[in-house]
Amino acid sequence: AGSAPEPVPGSEPQPVLSPLTTFATFLVVTVDPGGEEAVRGLLADLAGLERAFGFGAPGSSLSCVAAVGSEVWDRLYDYPRPAELRPFTALEGARHRAPSTPGDLLFHVRARRQDLCFQLAAEIMRRLGGAVTLQDEVQGFMYLDARDLLGFVDGTENPVGDVARDAVLIGGEDPAHAGGSYVIVQKYLHDLDAWNTLPVEAQERIIGRTKATNIELDEDASHVALNTITDPDGTERDILRDNMPFGSPGRGEFGTYFIGYARTPDVTERMLRNMFLGTGTASHDRVLDFSTAVTGTLFYVPAADFLDDQPARPAAGAATSPAPAPPAPAPIPRPADGSLGIGNLNRS
């Protein structure tokens, strides 16, 4: 965007690093033409809503991370684009594909209580009513001792503490977006009947950990091995995963909602290329023989301060806007008596 970069006021991150909870709701929406102002208003109020619903429920760890997609950025902000904000790259492997699907906003709502996730998600959607189109909604839950529906403990090797902050939060490499992050989501559906015909030892070789005891195995073509990414100098590159199982036994739906936060989406996409396109040691990740990716979207997670005090919107018809200018909103009808049409504010 055109104007001179101004430093972000502070760089307090959104609650990206908040702990894994027992429930999560994932909402992905696209912003309708003319919906930009409602979106900006909701994003500014999000931290307040989180406090409003979470304060009276101590220990519930209610949190919400909001993230913005590539196509909507220039409609919302006259501000330099995050350096690596781009659409998710679809992958066509020999056996499996990772589609790229629409999404302008992601809301990742987490809590130890399902009702609070529901309440916050409901309020977000109420506030965005008429401004957005729902693309996907998933209610995730912690299954047993943090297992995915394939039966394996998921999340063990996530970075923690300073290592996690360093892996996830943007720093000096993009000063206008310090404290921000990138997030990739993919919704996977499992063929559990096929998976469950495999002997446990075969499942363990595919994942790269033992099933009952969660001990890492020395397998060079496993899911774990394919997702162990190192730079040429040997430094291991981490992402922060907050995957959640979801499903509907009645409809035979069993899934994993993959969500990976990273300081650069490049690390996550390197993992995905290993999984879908293979490496020297593996033609593909065999988890994919039992798991189909049905969505795939990349978002930028602004710092909390950015949402509290968002930069201006682009001027109407600004040359920076890649999309055709949305139609002007219809004038608000006013009652003929010249009042604001909101009734009598006196309580008496």
**Residue of 271, 301, 303, 307 that binds ligand HEM (CB under 6 A):** 271
Q: Say if residues 303 and 10 touch (Cβ distance below 8 Å).
A: yes
Instruction: For residue 28, state whether it binds ligand HEM (rule: CB under 6 A).
Output: no
Report the residue number, 260 or 278, with the smaller CB distance to ligand HEM.
Answer: 260
Q: Which of 74, 104, 148, 154 is catalytic?
A: 154
Instruction: For residue 227, state whether it binds ligand HEM (rule: CB under 6 A).
Output: yes
Task: Give the binding-site size for ligand HEM (rule: CB under 6 A).
Answer: 26
**Residue of 260, 278, 296, 314 that binds ligand HEM (CB under 6 A):** 260
What residue is closest to ligand HEM based on CB?
157
Report the residue number, 25 or 227, with the smaller CB distance to ligand HEM.
Answer: 227
Instruction: For residue 89, state whether it binds ligand HEM (rule: CB under 6 A).
Output: no
Report the residue number, 25 or 291, with the smaller CB distance to ligand HEM.
Answer: 291
Q: What 3-state class would DSSP assign to 269? A: helix
Burial class (CB in 10 A: 0-12, 13-18, 19+), 89: middle
Q: How far apart are CA 195 and CA 78, in angstroms?
A: 49
Annotated catalytic residue 154: yes
- Give the torsion through C-alpha atoms of 326, 328, 332, 333, to 10 deg: -120
Helices 114-127, 36-54: inter-axial angle, 10-degree rounding: 150
Instruction: For residue 295, state whether it binds ligand HEM (rule: CB under 6 A).
Output: no
In Å, how far from its chain's centre is CA 311? 22
Q: What 3-state class would DSSP assign to 108? A: strand
Q: To the nearest whole angstrom, how small is the minimum distance from the Cβ of residue 98 to ligand HEM?
A: 8
Q: Say if residues 123 and 179 touch (Cβ distance below 8 Å).
A: no
The pattern of x and - marking residues 232 through 251 that bind ligand HEM according to CB under 6 A reads: -------x-x----------
Backbone angles phi, psi at 132, to 5 degrees: -135, 165
CA distances 134 to 27, 32, 128, Å, are 8, 10, 10
Residues from 108 through 167 that contact ligand HEM (CB under 6 A): 148, 150, 152-157
Instruction: Tell me which residues touch ligand HEM (CB under 6 A).
Output: 148, 150, 152-157, 186, 188, 207, 209, 223-224, 227-228, 239, 241, 256, 258, 260, 268, 271-272, 287, 291
What is the set of active-site residues?
154
